[in-house]
Amino acid sequence: MPTRYPRLLTLLLIGASLTPSFASTAKEKAAIQAAARATLPEFIDYLKIPNVMRQSAKDMQRNAAWTVAAFKRHGFVAQELEDGETPMVFAELSGGPKASKTVLFYAHMDGQAVTAAEWDQPDPFNPTLKARKADGTFQTLPLETLTGANPDPELRLFARSAADDKAPIMMLMAAAEALKANKKTPAINIKILIDSHEEGGPPTLKDVVTRNADLLRADAIVMLDGPMHATNKPTIVFGHRGGGGFTLTVFGARSELHSGHYGNYAPNPVFGLATLIASMKDADGRVRIPGFYDGAEATPAMKQAFASVPDDEPALRARIGIAQNEKVGASYQEAINLPSLNITAISAADIDKPRTIIPAQASASFDARTVPGTPSARQVALVRKWVEDQGYHLVNGAPTEEDRRTYPRLAAVTGGGGGRALMTPLDSPLGEWAHKALLAEFHEEPVRIPMMGGSVPTAPLADGLKVPILLIPLVNNDNNQHAPNENLRIGNYFEGARTLYSLFLQPL
């Protein structure tokens, strides 16, 4: 993790002195609103195309073809980029005569899988407009409600990928239409890459970037993925945690055993696994494995940045339904800027069909989020050593007969790969560029988040194009991404178009 941000405190205190080069007039704002409203029917059509990459290559081909045609309708030069059966999409819009820098905007058109029965509507790919009632429940409204002159910004459009990530793609087009309406030319050259594999399938972004490095060449990258801060204020995110997954398995007898005949004699691997898991964290949730947090120490400047984020932690706890949070960090922001160790699932025998047996093995799957300074391979190596220090002999694959005769405690740690973390310096020129644009358009300090907890595929872009990366999320924080009832707050669609419009007109 970078250790010094010499200008950060100054920027936080006197950000308003960063004089922007423009500010939208009331007439321009009306044109942005009109352009965004005019693209809503297209957005609805876009959401009707299923986009679960693992389920249908033909659906992703339809998404790619639709996306290319839509960008062309809105004045972009656009094309498909070969990526096996599921192409990605590239679009570009040249800036004005003074535009010397190029910004590559990234979003993805694929979505998470759906289980229709878990949604509060018949079909997650049939967009449904809803309004929140006084009791917190939602009432369905006709889609035609959106065609009014000034749709209620609090309305929600429910569909898979309504927020993650088709909304930002359409906002790019709305912002381009607003430029034409206001007779403006961009102050930057705009390039856009739309991924088809972000949510599933083999990660192919690295190969696409390598094959198209000249086409994608830019001076900076802006990722349009992820949620805004819970206040819904303009948000700039300077990085994200990395992630790696592994599985810990504890072995017992060669096969399942009758619990009456062998209980109190044959060790139960579930208890062994539970003891190992319990040993890894203290009562406050901090990982006890030596060295786990080494390299993730926050500087005073970073702590100042954490404190500047206007989190309402009691409201956050209430929203997710917990009475008390873990004490890994002094705040939510500090906590997500530290590496984490999380259990995602535990399995032994068949819980849905209980039998009176001692299981032969028990497994737990983990995800280990990382930050710069705590690479995934190192973190998994620390876990492996911890398991060995608890008296376990680690094997590769199933134990051999010799292993079983020799070692009383047998375990395996498998997996461990994953994406790496990103951290762009908080006082970087790219951050100042975004800050000036958002401050000019919205007349308030944007929320600056050092790192968000989730991960996005920045590594292939950073390695292939070797330019700085920033995340500018545009969708509401409570959008239920990856979950049933994913939704987009309509006000975010309009404000997102304004955000992109301001970025397009801000020289880099």
Q: What percent of the chain has pLDDT over 90?
A: 86
Is there a contact between 423 and 383 (Cβ–Cβ < 8 Å)? Answer: no
Is the domain of 20 the same as that of 89? yes
Residue ending a domain, among 369, 395, 418, is: 418
pLDDT for 21 equals 52
Tens digits of residue pLDDT in 158-207: 999 999 999 999 999 999 999 999 999 999 999 999 999 999 878 899 99
Tens digits of residue pLDDT in 439-459: 999 999 999 999 998 888 999
CA 382 to chain centre: 26
Is the domain of 169 the same as that of 184? yes
Token pair for 213: 């490095």
In angstroms, rounded to a whole number, what is the distance separating the alpha carbons of residues 289 and 171? 45
Q: What is the DSSP letter of 402?
A: H
Residue ending a domain, among 373, 390, 418, is: 418
Question: Rounded to whole angstroms, what are the CA distances from 227 to 168, 235, 418, 487, 502?
Answer: 11, 9, 22, 12, 19
Is there a contact between 188 and 103 (Cβ–Cβ < 8 Å)? Answer: yes
In angstroms, rounded to a whole number, what is the distance separating the alpha carbons of residues 91 and 107? 12
In angstroms, rounded to a whole number, what is the distance separating the alpha carbons of residues 114 and 507? 41
pLDDT for 146 equals 87
Is the domain of 104 the same as that of 179? yes
Is the domain of 170 the same as that of 220? yes
Ranges 143-147, 302-306, 487-491, most confident:
487-491
Mean predicted confidence (pLDDT) in 465-494 = 96
Mean predicted confidence (pLDDT) in 67-96 = 97
Is pLDDT above 80 for 19? Answer: no
Residue 413 included in any domain = yes
Mean predicted confidence (pLDDT) in 221-234 = 95
Is pLDDT above 60 for 12? Answer: no
* Single-letter amino acid, residue 180: K
Tens digits of residue pLDDT in 315-333: 999 989 999 999 999 999 9
Token pair for 449: 């988040």
Q: What is the DSSP letter of 15?
A: G
Residue ending a domain, among 365, 384, 418, is: 418
Structural domain boundaries, residue 386: 242-296+338-418
Is the domain of 46 the same as that of 74? yes
Using 50, 70 and 90 to split pLDDT, how confident is the model at 258?
very high
Using 50, 70 and 90 to split pLDDT, how confident is the model at 395?
very high
Query: What is the model's pTM?
Result: 0.88
Residue 1 included in any domain = no
In angstroms, rounded to a whole number, what is the distance separating the alpha carbons of residues 261 and 252? 15
- Cβ neighbors of 25 (< 8 A, separation 6 or more) are none
Is there a contact between 181 and 173 (Cβ–Cβ < 8 Å)? Answer: no
Residue 306 included in any domain = no
Is pLDDT above 50 for 20? Answer: no
Q: CA angle, 236 as apex, 370 and 234 as ends, to 5°?
A: 140
Mean predicted confidence (pLDDT) in 54-75 = 96
Residue 61 included in any domain = yes
Is pLDDT above 50 for 8? Answer: no
Using 50, 70 and 90 to split pLDDT, how confident is the model at 152?
very high
Is the domain of 233 the same as that of 179? yes
> Is the pLDDT higher at 351 or at 125?
125
CATH of the domain at 143: 3.40.630.10
Q: Where is 209: in which H helix or E strand?
A: helix 205-211
Token pair for 188: 């930057």
As beta bridge partners, residue 152 has none
**Exposure of 473 in the CB half-sphere (CA atoms within 13 A):** 31
Q: What percent of the chain has pLDDT over 70?
A: 96
CATH of the domain at 371: 3.30.70.360
Residue 206 included in any domain = yes
Is the domain of 249 the same as that of 212? no
Question: Worst-scoring range by mean pLDDT, 168-177, 268-277, 292-301?
Answer: 292-301
pLDDT for 6 equals 43
Q: In 241-384, which ranges are E strands?
A: 242-251, 257-258, 342-347, 357-358, 361-370
pLDDT for 300 equals 84
Residue 318 included in any domain = no
At 464, give phi and psi (nearest 5°): -80, -35
Is the domain of 195 the same as that of 270? no
Is the domain of 400 the same as that of 440? no
* SS3 assignment, position 325: coil
Residue 58 included in any domain = yes
> Is the pLDDT higher at 243 or at 159?
159
> Mean pLDDT score of the chain, rounded to an integer?
93
Is pLDDT above 50 for 11? Answer: no
In angstroms, rounded to a whole number, what is the distance separating the alpha carbons of residues 426 and 169? 26
Question: Rounded to whole angstroms, what are the CA distances from 159 to 198, 309, 321, 475?
Answer: 18, 30, 24, 14
Is pLDDT above 70 for 5? Answer: no
**Domains of the chain: total:** 2
Token pair for 322: 């917990």
Is the domain of 271 the same as that of 411? yes
Residue 362 included in any domain = yes
Is the domain of 282 the same as that of 410? yes
pLDDT for 22 equals 67
Is the domain of 280 the same as that of 140? no
Is pLDDT above 50 for 10? Answer: no
